[in-house]
């Protein structure tokens, strides 16, 4: 990665983190309605994968989708407007946090049904193959999602049809509030995917560079017609399953320890500054810029136009009768 | 214009649309075929509806899949979100239970929850209904459940002519359509034009007209309603409007309400169980918007609140028939 790529990657990592930190603060004021699931701690996965993608490539995300949206290029202010339910939000306030989509960016939606995005992304990959495209489709699924049958249906079909499809499994060790050991018979998630008949690797999802390298290989393989593959990346979830989750299942010390030892941002900063590829001043400038972007996003969200009751009827059908 | 079976009429519709639009493709179990010793071996669908497509268009547009209903529907909907015009085949409507999430939480809601920024023009074809002694898991209708979901359109043809025109409309529609093919009607024949034609959704057909009683029926029940109407006319001089809505969603409310305004009497017939179904739905519609036109209580003729039984005698007892419809008509005229 050259200097600009590195700076761009850092910018995205910081944007993803600050978006979630700010969402958490604002959520606690009661201004954001509904359930919110924060991606903090897992940013290196979304950014490591999506840095390889263009607007033509399609992704489908999960209920914990803010990070994937931002990594794919969604506008943070338009996303924040969506969290607030404004008609200026990416989905005009119809979707909210769990259904953010931006088709102009190839972001086919955060999806609130665990595992459901995998078969749909198979369809996107099928469209690429059928139309002779070079674009790929990526679905993100958590470790909890690997126990949903339709994910394996999707993997098998992608292998049978040799589709340009990448299955990214984000292993944060928790399926909502249940630890993976209590939910998953074979802890080797890459082996489970490989058993479906495709290349599958596991990487440290806290290490941006490890994710970036493995994702690059899988995406390049898919682009040149080499078929699907699976990338398992493990990274901690800094917050609860959803905002408001009291996390009675793990101690404060455990969470603080994760922050100290398994944070992708200090890990990234240490490497690029030690190597001398980015300077502390450059990073600080990005931080200041992201802080400004988040202030702007929240200000826009608070002032955003509100839907009126009649809007409930829009967008059900293209045409009904 | 020639006499064709519903199977052949549907097959023609698929051929017309494959020819018209290169983005149209078919995906499902056993819909296409495979190569053996360099020679194509065609399957063409277990009911033969997609015959000839694999030979003509090959595996690229006629895609056989594993027995993975969620993957079939996901693959179709994802492709539709990327501009394709997929037709997915689920062999039996009962099996939509395996991919219910992909239909009702995903396809039905994409356009709405993403604020109108996408279309999902997918058609899901499936066989529906009883009459083949296929038992409890291969004989259900399922169209009433799906009719309750906003975002989906539902078509249930009752004859070969409608089947062709409705399927062509479904494939050209920008919205997701669930297309239910009554499996006992595949061999039933009527006049069907050779050329492509589209029957608009939300416009009921009226195979019989009369001023005494309104009969509203869906799918294969339409044929029983017509038989009952003909018998009543011949033996008793009673004339019935027989209304086939053809698309439970969108529903042609006007035709039903206008007919009831003229007759004052309504019998609703469907082979589904009675609760939360289309018979209750139509009865509620008329109670709500046409109550003052009624001269007698509304009657419904349905299957009982039981699973579909297998034995011939039991399935006969389960399904509605013209005799039961005639009895209901006599009740509303009493």
**Domain CATH code at residue A271:** 3.40.50.970
Between B78, B106, B112, which is nearest A122 by CB?
Answer: B78
The answer regarding whether domain B2-192 maps to CATH 3.40.50.970 reads yes
The Cβ-side half-sphere exposure at A292, using a 13 Å CA radius, reads 7
Print the domain residue range for A295.
3-299
Q: Which residues of B touch A89 (CB under 8 A)?
A: 115
Residue A143 and residue A202 in contact, taking contact as beta carbons nearer than 8 Å: no
Exposed / middle / buried, residue B28 (Cβ in 10 Å: 0-12, 13-18, 19+)? buried
- Catalytic residue chosen out of the listed positions B15, B16, B138, B305: B138
Q: Are the Cβ atoms of B84 and A161 closer than 8 angstroms?
A: no
Q: How far is CA B287 from CA A253, A312, B260, B282, in A?
A: 64, 26, 11, 8
How much is the pLDDT for B99? 98
> Which residue in this structure is represented by tokens 């005229």?
B333
Q: Which residue of A has its CA nearest to B28?
A: A157
Q: Are the Cβ atoms of B78 and A118 closer than 8 angstroms?
A: no
Check if B16 is active-site: no
Kindly state the average pLDDT of the residues B128-143. Answer: 97
Residue B191 pLDDT > 80 = yes
B217 touches chain A (CB under 8 A): no
**Residue A319 forms part of a structural domain:** no
Kindly state the average pLDDT of the residues B175-185. Answer: 98
How much is the pLDDT for B78? 98
Between A116, A126, A157, which is nearest B106 by CB?
Answer: A116
Q: How far is B110 from chain A (nearest CA, A)?
A: 8
pLDDT band of residue B128 (cuts 50, 70, 90) is very high
Between B61, B69, B250, which is nearest A320 by CB?
Answer: B250
Report domain extents, chain B. Answer: 2-192, 205-333
> Which residue in this structure is represented by tokens 């082996």?
A191
Residue B312 pLDDT > 80 = yes
How much is the pLDDT for A184? 94
Lowest mean per-residue pLDDT among A219-228, A243-252, B136-145, B298-307: A243-252
Summarize pLDDT for B57-80 with one digit per residue, the tens: 999 999 999 999 999 999 999 999
Residue A93 and residue A85 in contact, taking contact as beta carbons nearer than 8 Å: yes
Average pLDDT over chain B reads: 98
Closest CA to B173 of B153, B193, B189: B153
Kindly state the average pLDDT of the residues A10-27. Answer: 98
B78 touches chain A (CB under 8 A): yes
Residue A16 pLDDT > 80 = yes
Helix or strand (DSSP H, E) at B124: strand B123-128
Q: Which residues of B touch A102 (CB under 8 A)?
A: 117
Handedness of CA A204, A206, A207, A208 (dihedral sign): positive
B112 touches chain A (CB under 8 A): yes
Q: Which residues of B touch A150 (CB under 8 A)?
A: 70-71, 74, 99, 101-102
Q: How far is B199 from chain A (nearest CA, A)?
A: 12
Q: To probe the interface with A, which of B82, B90, B111, B248 has the most A CB atoms within 10 Å?
A: B82
Q: Report the complex ipTM.
A: 0.96
Kindly state the average pLDDT of the residues B89-95. Answer: 98
How much is the pLDDT for A1? 92
Cα–Cα distance between A268 and A43 in angstroms, integer? 11
Between A116, A157, A160, which is nearest B105 by CB?
Answer: A116
Whether residue B60 has a cis bond before it, omega within 30° of 0: no
Summarize pLDDT for B11-48 with one digit per residue, the tens: 999 999 999 999 999 999 999 999 999 899 999 999 99
Q: Where does chain B have alpha helices with state H? A: 6-20, 53-57, 69-81, 100, 110-113, 143-147, 160-172, 221-236, 253-263, 278-289, 312-318, 322-333
Summarize pLDDT for B149-172 with one digit per residue, the tens: 999 999 999 999 999 999 999 999
Residue B262 and residue B174 in contact, taking contact as beta carbons nearer than 8 Å: no
Helix or strand (DSSP H, E) at B192: strand B189-192
Which of the four CATH numbers 3.40.50.920, 3.40.920.10, 3.90.1150.10, 1.25.40.10 does domain B205-333 have? Answer: 3.40.50.920
B279 touches chain A (CB under 8 A): no
**Residues of B (135-164) whose Cβ lies below 8 Å from A:** 150-151, 153
**Residue A66 forms part of a structural domain:** yes
The structural domain count of chain A equals: 1
Residues 6+ apart with CB under 8 A from B145: none
- Alpha-carbon dihedral angle through residues A247, A250, A253, A258, given to the nearest 10 degrees: -90
**Residue A305 forms part of a structural domain:** no
Q: Which residues of A touch B176 (CB under 8 A)?
A: none
Kindly state the average pLDDT of the residues B316-332. Answer: 98
Kindly state the average pLDDT of the residues B235-258. Answer: 98
Kindly state the average pLDDT of the residues A194-213. Answer: 98
Percentage of chain B exceeding pLDDT 90:
99
B79 touches chain A (CB under 8 A): yes
Q: How far is CA A59 from CA A45, A118, A196, in A?
A: 13, 10, 21
Q: Which residues of A touch B82 (CB under 8 A)?
A: 58, 123-124, 127-128
Residue A321 pLDDT > 90 = no
How much is the pLDDT for B299? 98
Cα–Cα distance between B35 and B286 in angstroms, integer? 55
Residue A40 and residue A206 in contact, taking contact as beta carbons nearer than 8 Å: no
Which residues does residue B301 pair with via DSSP β-bridges, in sequence order? B269
Kindly state the average pLDDT of the residues B189-213. Answer: 98
B64 touches chain A (CB under 8 A): no
B65 touches chain A (CB under 8 A): yes
Structure tokens at B168: 């062509």
Summarize pLDDT for A84-120 with one digit per residue, the tens: 999 999 999 999 999 999 999 999 999 999 999 999 9
Residue A291 pLDDT > 90 = yes
Residue A266 and residue A272 in contact, taking contact as beta carbons nearer than 8 Å: no
Residue A40 pLDDT > 90 = yes
How much is the pLDDT for B182? 98
**Residue A205 forms part of a structural domain:** yes
A/B interface, count of CB pairs below 8 Å: 159
**Residue A109 forms part of a structural domain:** yes
B4 touches chain A (CB under 8 A): no
Cα–Cα distance between B314 and B134 in angstroms, integer? 12
Strands B62-64 and A174-175: unpaired
The Cβ-side half-sphere exposure at B168, using a 13 Å CA radius, reads 22
> In 10 A of CB B186, how many CB atoms?
20
Between A101, A125, A319, which is nearest B117 by CB?
Answer: A101
**Residue A71 forms part of a structural domain:** yes
B119 touches chain A (CB under 8 A): yes
Q: How far is A18 from chain B (nearest CA, A)?
A: 24
């Amino acid at each position: 990665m050259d200097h600009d790529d590195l700076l761009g990657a850092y910018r995205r990592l910081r944007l993803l983190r600050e978006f979630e930190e700010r969402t958490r603060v604002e959520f606690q004021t009661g201004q954001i309605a509904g359930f919110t699931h924060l991606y903090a701690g897992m940013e290196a996965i979304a950014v490591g994968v999506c840095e390889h993608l263009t607007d033509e490539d399609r992704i489908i995300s999960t209920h914990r989708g803010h990070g994937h949206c931002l990594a794919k290029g969604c506008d943070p202010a338009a996303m924040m407007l969506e969290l607030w339910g404004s008609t200026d939000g990416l989905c005009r306030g119809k979707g909210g946090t769990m259904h953010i989509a931006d088709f102009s960016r190839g972001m086919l939606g955060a999806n609130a049904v665990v595992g459901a995005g995998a078969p749909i992304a198979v369809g996107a990959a099928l469209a690429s193959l059928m139309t002779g495209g070079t674009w790929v489709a990526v679905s993100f699924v958590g470790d909890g999602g690997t126990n949903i049958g339709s994910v394996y249906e999707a993997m098998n079909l992608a292998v049978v049809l040799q589709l340009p499809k990448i299955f990214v499994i984000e292993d944060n060790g928790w399926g909502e509030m249940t630890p993976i050991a209590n939910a998953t018979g074979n802890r080797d998630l890459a082996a489970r995917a490989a058993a479906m008949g495709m290349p599958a690797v596991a990487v440290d999802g806290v290490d941006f560079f490890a994710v970036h390298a493995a994702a690059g290989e899988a995406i390049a393989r898919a682009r040149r017609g080499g078929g699907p593959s699976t990338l398992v990346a493990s990274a901690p979830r800094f917050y609860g399953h959803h905002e408001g989750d009291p996390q009675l299942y793990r101690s404060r010390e455990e969470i603080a320890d994760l922050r100290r030892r398994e944070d992708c941002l200090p890990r990234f900063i240490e490497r690029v500054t030690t190597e001398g590829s980015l300077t502390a001043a450059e990073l600080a400038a990005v931080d200041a810029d992201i802080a400004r972007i988040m202030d702007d996003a929240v200000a826009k969200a608070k002032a955003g136009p509100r839907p009126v009751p009649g809007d409930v009827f829009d967008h059900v059908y293209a045409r009904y009768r | 214009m020639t006499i064709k079976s519903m199977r052949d009429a549907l097959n023609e519709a698929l051929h017309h649309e494959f020819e018209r639009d290169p983005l149209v493709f078919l995906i499902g179990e056993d819909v296409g075929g495979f190569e053996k010793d360099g020679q194509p071996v065609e399957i063409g669908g277990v009911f033969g509806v997609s015959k000839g497509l694999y030979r003509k268009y090959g595996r690229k547009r006629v895609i056989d899949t594993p027995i993975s209903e969620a993957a079939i529907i996901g693959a179709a909907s994802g492709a539709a979100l990327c501009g394709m015009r997929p037709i997915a085949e689920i062999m039996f409507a009962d099996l939509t239970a395996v991919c219910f999430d992909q239909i009702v939480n995903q396809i039905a809601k994409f356009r709405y929850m993403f604020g109108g920024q996408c279309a999902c023009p997918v058609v899901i074809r499936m066989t529906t209904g009883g009459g083949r002694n296929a038992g409890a898991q291969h004989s259900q209708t399922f169209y009433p459940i799906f009719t309750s979901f906003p975002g989906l359109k539902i078509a249930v043809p009752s004859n070969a002519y409608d089947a062709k025109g409705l399927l062509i409309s479904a494939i050209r529609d920008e919205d997701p359509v669930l297309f239910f093919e009554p499996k006992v009607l595949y061999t039933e024949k009527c006049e069907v034009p050779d050329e492509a034609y589209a029957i608009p959704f939300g416009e009921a057909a009226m195979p019989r007209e009369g001023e005494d009683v309104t009969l509203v029926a869906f799918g294969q029940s339409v044929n029983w309603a017509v038989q009952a109407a003909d018998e009543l006319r011949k033996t008793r001089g009673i004339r019935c409007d027989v209304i086939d809505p053809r698309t439970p969603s969108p529903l042609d409310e006007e035709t039903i309400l206008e007919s009831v305004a003229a007759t004052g009497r309504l019998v609703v017939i469907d082979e589904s169980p009675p609760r939360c179904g289309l018979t209750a739905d139509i009865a509620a519609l008329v109670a709500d918007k046409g109550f003052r036109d009624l001269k007698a209580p509304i009657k419904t003729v349905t299957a009982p609140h039981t699973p579909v039984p297998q034995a011939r005698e039991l399935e006969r007892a389960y399904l509605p028939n013209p005799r039961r419809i005639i009895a209901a008509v006599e009740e509303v005229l009493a």
